[in-house]
Chain A
Amino acid sequence: MAKILVLEADKILAGNLSRYLRNSGHSVTWSSGPQEAIEQTDKNQPDVIVTDLVLGEHSGVEFLYELRSYPEWQDLPVIILSTIAYNDLASTGHSLKELNIAEFYYKSETSLPEIAKAIDLLSQPLQSPAGLGTRTAR
């Protein structure tokens, strides 16, 4: 079971995603705005964040820059589930490379099971080959 923070401005979409992830055995917190998401991240220490890039009047990219500005959250796995296609985002000049994004999904072409699968992969501790410890999947 993973602790997941869903950052999504659309209440119905957030409700559907949260319900599906809860039914898959995860613990889910929902934030509708970036400021609330930063506070929730601090409070709940999620294992994975799922965020859109369009958050009402705010930008998900700004949220990501703020998140990554905290040293303890620089490796926190982030999945983007957006209404903006990756190619459209690239054409606006935004680069997500420096923001350490684990996965990028385009909403209209992604099913809920695909998101759940990505979360499972990202949140599972992997056994190192030498069996000396665990690490988080990236």
Chain B
Amino acid sequence: MKQFSDKAVILTRTDFGEADRIITFLTARHGKVKAIAKAVRKSKSKLAGGIELFSVSDITVIVGRGEINTLISTRLVKHYANIVKDLARTQLAYEFIRLLNKNTETAAEFAYFKLIKTGFEALDDSSIDPELTALWFNMQLLKIAGHAPNLRSDSRGAKLKSSATYGFRLDDMHFAPQESAGDFTEHHIKFLRVGFAARGPRVLARVVEASKLAEATQPLIQTMLKSSLRV
């Protein structure tokens, strides 16, 4: 009987039958995995404790013949308990798993697992502004999916200038210089550069006037998500 163990995060949970549940996990090394957790809704279930939302768990799964596998053991590694203490953070955590579920296939790369794990860690940390975490998460999702904008040169291939203002062109993902006042300046573009390069949202928070820059660039990131990913 073929089986594997891996670190995993829950993406979806659906009740099935009398006491079973079908769970979609995003794992570190095996991509997206769907497994049935038998009798998990019974009070004496040994599996239930290890499969909480907004957590990282060790799971062991028996590989089934079809699409569905069977979950045989679970152990909670880290539960991000602070997330559910705050409504805004809880909503964002749900949004993170919804976006990842929609935009990953069965063979999801390790980068997606790392992204959701770092996203949960940041939402769990009350010292980090959740809006910055959301912005960083969306930038990283675009980057992993191969839709990062060009933040080095403008649409003509010239270096971005501090004196110019820019509009954004979605068709080639470049900033284009605008003669009349564009929506974006070098500060916005540098902020985006930091966000796309950063390993976590804490780096963004260190930028001077981060909240103001986040507020100005957030609609652009949302537009990029809408035009490039399944939202």
* A contacts, CB < 8 Å to B: 10-13, 15-16, 19-20, 83, 85, 106-108, 111-112
Contact = CB atoms under 8 A, between A and B. Distances in A.
B170 A16 contact: yes
Which of under 10, 10 to 19, 20 to 34, or 35 or more describes the interface residues of B?
Answer: 10 to 19
B228 interface: yes
Interface string B207-231: 0000000000001101100111111
Contacts of A16: 168-171
A112 B171 contact: yes
22 contacts: A10-B219, A10-B222, A10-B226, A12-B170, A12-B183, A12-B220, A12-B223, A13-B170, A13-B223, A16-B168, A16-B169, A20-B171, A83-B226, A83-B231, A85-B230, A106-B230, A107-B226, A108-B226, A108-B227, A108-B229, A111-B171, A112-B171
Given A13-B226, A108-B228, 6 more contacts: A12-B168, A12-B223, A15-B167, A19-B169, A20-B171, A107-B226
Contact of A108 (B171, B220, B230): B230
A64 B219 CA distance: 26
B147 to A, nearest CB: 9
A10 B225 CA distance: 12
B105 to A, nearest CB: 14
Interface in B177-208: 183
A13 B183 CA distance: 13
A11 B230 contact: no
Point out which of A10, A13, A108 has the most chain B C-beta atoms below 10 A from its C-beta. Answer: A108
Nearest to A85: B230
A112 B231 CA distance: 18
A15 B169 CA distance: 9
A37 B170 CA distance: 24
B227 A13 contact: yes
